[in-house]
Chain A
Amino acid sequence: MQVALNEDQRAIRDALDALARPFEEAPVHEAPRVAASPDFARALAESGFLDVACDPDLGTATAGVVVERLARLPFAVEAATRAFFAPLLGDVSGPVCLVEGTRTPRLVRFLEAGACVIVVEEQGVSYFTADEQQLRRESESLFAYPMASLLEIPEERAGLPITPGEARTRARAALAAEAAGLMAAALASVCAHLSERTQFGRKLATFQALRHRLAEAQVRTNGVYWMAMKAATTLDPADAALAAWHAQESATSTVYDFHQFLGAMGMTLEHPLHFWTYRLKALIGELGGRGASAAAAADALWG
């Protein structure tokens, strides 16, 4: 048992941080609700960080480390699905998206022309490359991810050598890792704000009513982090479902508190909080939401 990053993982995390450092500032003036950075996406794609899972010594465990770290950035970069499915997909450029079932239209994160869309159905897992006709960009979406509606899923799709259960497990581990990073970044930004802002002659962070809820958010964030790392390491269906549930459950309570504690400032596009919280809101509804994650965990644990 070693519930800590190993040396390789720490080195990769630090190198990733170095790559991301020039992009850490929240882009408050451009693309205010979404914040994507094509420059960073390109640098990241070239860096190979998203392909760490292809190296058997690093595996999806290290993909989890990478995904969690990237989620802390104000920029939305498609990393989670790509990093967890890289060993199965071979060479893909563009973002990787994942949908369960073939219902359309449906909102899909990072969907764009040229994106690889993985379709998980009971009878198998397949993928296709999306084209312009199959999607409609949702530029009014609040979700802080580049979002599009998938309008149709083509009959012609390539198969992926993985069972639907295994695909869901990877998707849940990826979701939990991403949520852990989003929660960590949101928590840090709220703590920083409350440590600065004074009301009633005191820093807001000295009010116990707020401190306790922030402390509980820390406990949740820490729990989601380690559960995500475990799920990424073991790719065990129970671990992944429990991690996804804890991530989605914790996101529901913390997102509310984080916005509450920022007051009106949290409603503005000047403060970056909304990037993380609205992404968390998107994750709450993924993969069937909390109920589906819990049901999957119960199936895996107790049959």
Chain B
Amino acid sequence: MDFDWTPDEQAFRERLRDFLDTTLPDDWERFSQHGPASPDLTRYAQTFCAALAEEDLLIPHWPVEIGGQGQDPWHQTILAEEMWIAGEPRGGQYMNVNWIGPTLIRYGTPEQQARYLPPIAQGKALWCQGFSEPGSGSDLASLRTRAVADGGDYVVNGQKIWTSYAGLADTCFLLCRTSEDRKRGITILLVPMDTPGITVRQIPSIIGEGDIHEVFFDDMRVPASARLGEEGQAWEIIAYSLRNERLGIPRYALARSALDRAVSILQERGDFVREAVRIEAAGAAALCEAARLASYAIVTRRAEGETIGQESSSARYATVMCERRVCEFIVEHLPEALADAHPYLKMHHQRGIVAGIAAGAAEIQLNIIASDVLGLPREAR
């Protein structure tokens, strides 16, 4: 066991902090509260990611052969933590570099790679993820958006929902049904968002302007060359994508940072004296630490070359617990943060409240832990 960073890792973190300090605009905190998918932030992310790419900080964890530096999972974790603590100035591009790029590297045709990888590596691409549908949230495999082969094309009809970034994205990583087989009947299409037959409608939300959308497909036609992998291979491919993304976003890092900020605000005005408040804050910090270490235990295994499966659900649920506690602490002791007094804390709240829902709901994580970590007999269905 070793709970220290190596000098190299520490230097990498400091380099990132310096970069963020000098690169982010002065009013960053104020405008980051609009949410990582807001139009303002999405546009700014193009500038920011291009600057990251200039410094070789956009895809350092990609293999050297395709422009990365082959950095280990610890560097990837540090990068993700520092970006998320800052309010994720990469906007939706975090998806590109974390899993869309690596998935294309593994499963894309040479043409798909030539078309899509360079813009990702330069920080110019914006993708959206067309998975969820009105009738298919947690039960993703029930999705019904249909792609029918027609000559050399696919014709797509159906609807996606809760799609982040769809308003401004240039490409959609779209899951469609091509046969009735529940999991092996799903196929991935890489769809330019300006294809005729796509309609995007923004859904107003409490978590920020432009964050989620509905996307409708009416007789949308794409060539068969838009298919990623084989017909029916989507489930296998997503499992690979998730392997790169199992731990999800390092939310514990922003939660802890928000907690520290809240405490320092309370201290400045003399309100961090009562034992009751101090005890609450310490409890929230403990849950952040529990989530951080649970995540690091998984990263350790990844760094040693292990393939991580369902056991990362435990770290993800720990992260939900800490997000919740930090949000509650701020709501209780600094309610003005949810108005306009402390943009950083509001930014955290906007991102924190979805921790238990987006990218695999909390109860689904508990189901996975029960079956695959505790080894309990499966639920009756």
| A positions within 8 Å CB-CB of B | 1-6, 9, 61, 187, 191, 194-195, 202-203, 205-208, 211-212, 214-216, 218-220, 222-224, 226-227, 229-230, 233-234, 239, 241-243, 245-246, 249, 290-291, 293-295, 297-299, 301-302
Task: Determine if B16 is an interface residue (Cβ-Cβ < 8 Å).
Answer: no
CA distance A230 to B300 in the complex (A): 14
Per the 8 Å Cβ criterion, residues 269-308 of B in contact with A are 272, 275, 278-283, 285-287, 289-291, 293-294, 296-297, 299-301, 304
CA distance A191 to B375 in the complex (A): 8
CA distance A3 to B6 in the complex (A): 14
Which residues in A have their C-beta under 8 angstroms from that of B286? 227, 242-243, 245-246, 249, 294, 297
Q: Are A3 and B291 in contact, with the CB atoms below 8 A?
A: no
Q: Which residue of A lies closest to B9 (CB)?
A: A1
Q: Are A212 and B380 in contact, with the CB atoms below 8 A?
A: no
Q: Are B294 and A249 in contact, with the CB atoms below 8 A?
A: no
| B positions within 8 Å CB-CB of A | 1-6, 9, 74, 260, 263-264, 267, 272, 275, 278-283, 285-287, 289-291, 293-294, 296-297, 299-301, 304, 314, 317-318, 321, 363, 365-367, 369-370, 373-380
Q: Which residue of B lies closest to A230 (CB)?
A: B3
Which residues in B have their C-beta under 8 angstroms from that of A222? 294, 297, 314, 318
Q: Are B380 and A246 in contact, with the CB atoms below 8 A?
A: no
Q: Are A206 and B317 in contact, with the CB atoms below 8 A?
A: no
Q: Are A3 and B281 in contact, with the CB atoms below 8 A?
A: no
Which residues in B have their C-beta under 8 angstroms from that of A220? 290
CA distance A299 to B263 in the complex (A): 12
Q: Are A4 and B377 in contact, with the CB atoms below 8 A?
A: no
CA distance A61 to B4 in the complex (A): 13
Q: Are A206 and B377 in contact, with the CB atoms below 8 A?
A: yes
Number of A-B contacts (CB under 8 A): 159
Which residues in A have their C-beta under 8 angstroms from that of B5? 1
Which residues in A have their C-beta under 8 angstroms from that of B275? 291, 295
- Of A214, A216, A245, the residue contacting B282 (CB under 8 A) is A245
Q: Are A226 and B290 in contact, with the CB atoms below 8 A?
A: yes
Q: Which residue of B lies closest to A299 (CB)?
A: B278
CA distance A299 to B299 in the complex (A): 30
- Of B289, B304, B318, the residue contacting A242 (CB under 8 A) is B289
- Of B287, B293, B366, the residue contacting A216 (CB under 8 A) is B366
Q: Give, as a whole number of angstroms, the nearest-CB distance from A195 to chain B.
A: 6
CA distance A165 to B358 in the complex (A): 43
Q: Are B379 and A226 in contact, with the CB atoms below 8 A?
A: no
**Complex A-B: 28 CB contacts under 8 Å:** A3-B300, A194-B376, A205-B370, A208-B367, A212-B366, A212-B370, A215-B369, A215-B373, A219-B317, A219-B318, A219-B321, A222-B294, A223-B287, A223-B291, A223-B318, A226-B293, A226-B297, A239-B289, A243-B286, A295-B275, A295-B278, A295-B279, A297-B285, A298-B282, A301-B282, A302-B260, A302-B267, A302-B281
Task: With A1-B300, A3-B297 as known contacts, state yes or no: A241 contacts B282, CB within 8 Å.
Answer: yes
Q: Are A191 and B74 in contact, with the CB atoms below 8 A?
A: no
Which residues in A have their C-beta under 8 angstroms from that of B365? 215
Q: Are B300 and A219 in contact, with the CB atoms below 8 A?
A: no
Q: Give, as a whole number of angstroms, the nearest-CB distance from A208 to chain B.
A: 6
CA distance A202 to B378 in the complex (A): 11
CA distance A191 to B377 in the complex (A): 10
Which residues in B have their C-beta under 8 angstroms from that of A290? 279
Q: Are A206 and B373 in contact, with the CB atoms below 8 A?
A: no
